[in-house]
Amino acid sequence: MAGAIAYISRDTDGVAWEKLLTEALGPLDFRRLRDGLGNTDDIEIALAWKPQPGLLASFKNLKMIVSLGMGVDHLLADDKLPHHVAITRIMDDGLVGQMAEFAVYWALWHHRDIAKYAASQKAKKWKPEEFVDSIHRPVGVMGLGTIGTDTAKKFAMLGFPTMGWSRTAKTVPGVETFHGRDALPAFLGKSTILVNVLPLTRETRGLLDKKTFAALPKGAFLINMGRGAHVVDDDLLAALDSGHLAGAALDVFNTEPLPADHPYWAHPKVHITPHMAGYTNPRTASPGVIENIKRLRTGQPLLHTVDPKTGY
């Protein structure tokens, strides 16, 4: 039997992953962190989500690390991560669709003034609100990877003028694209709804700060489904309190779970969800992982590898 596969996660038990991998690959030496990993010298592959720093480096014969999320910042935060070991990330069409749904939901919620209608219902008032045509509500998507591209395309299909911003030049049909720091002000200046789905890297940490918020049109709405560390919390609260931003839908936070005393909980313009915009679904994520295991064991190039220097 080939080397062991270790499931490193405290959030889920890995039963679904073991079943799917066994069906595709045959009998496996599949080990779970919560059950004990046995002799770690046997471990060849690690399916990992937020592993304890230094744990992966202790696996002497590790050949591939698979991030159980599409982001890899939880791995790269480990300063002992064995960079000679291939790091791959999942490509999960199910998760991609969920993320786009989350962004579209909150954008439409803001666009169609649903909060005002909810207040009118509570007050038993029949009060139509003035409507803004979608053609006059440009949406900006920060990050044009797999998730950002899918999200931008769906906004464009709904008739919103849609823009995308990325570190390097990208082309997306129906989407006006910008790239690089020099183009960021022009992109922000048009974004009445800003959707963040950037990876968390040294360059993007704290990018959503007072300078970024000030560059947005007055009354802009923020949807953050990237990472909490993209946001400078005090700067966002100040932009909301000043009235420059109309609101924010936040799914990710600098500290998770969000502390009970955090100002976001009680802020009338902040809408909180518990990092649920997109969940990894083993059924839709496993085909790519299975393919990479086959490739690893037959000496073929791996798919969806990550460059630790860029963070994606």
Which tens digit of pLDDT belongs to each residue from 254-305?
A: 999 999 999 999 999 999 999 999 999 999 999 999 999 999 999 999 999 9
ω into 173 cis (within 30 of 0) = no
- Catalytic hit among 31, 32, 227, 230: 227
Instruction: Please indicate whether residue 227 is annotated as part of the active site.
Output: yes
> What pLDDT is recorded for position 1?
61
Q: Which one of 179, 275, 297, 304 is the catalytic residue?
A: 275
To the query of whether residue 271 is one of the catalytic residues in this protein, the response is: no
Q: Residue range 57-66: average pLDDT?
A: 98
SS3 category, 251: coil
pTM of the model: 0.94
Tell me how far apart the 2 most distant CA atoms of the chain are, in Å.
Answer: 69
Sorted by sequence, the CB contacts under 8 Å of residue 179 that are 6+ apart come out as 165, 166, 167, 168, 169, 170
CB 108 within 8 A of CB 160: no
pLDDT digits over 71-112, tens only?
A: 999 999 999 999 899 999 999 999 999 999 999 999 999 999
Domains in the chain, CATH or no CATH each: 4-92+280-298 (3.40.50.720), 94-272 (3.40.50.720)
Q: Which helix (H) or strand (E) holds 151?
A: helix 146-157
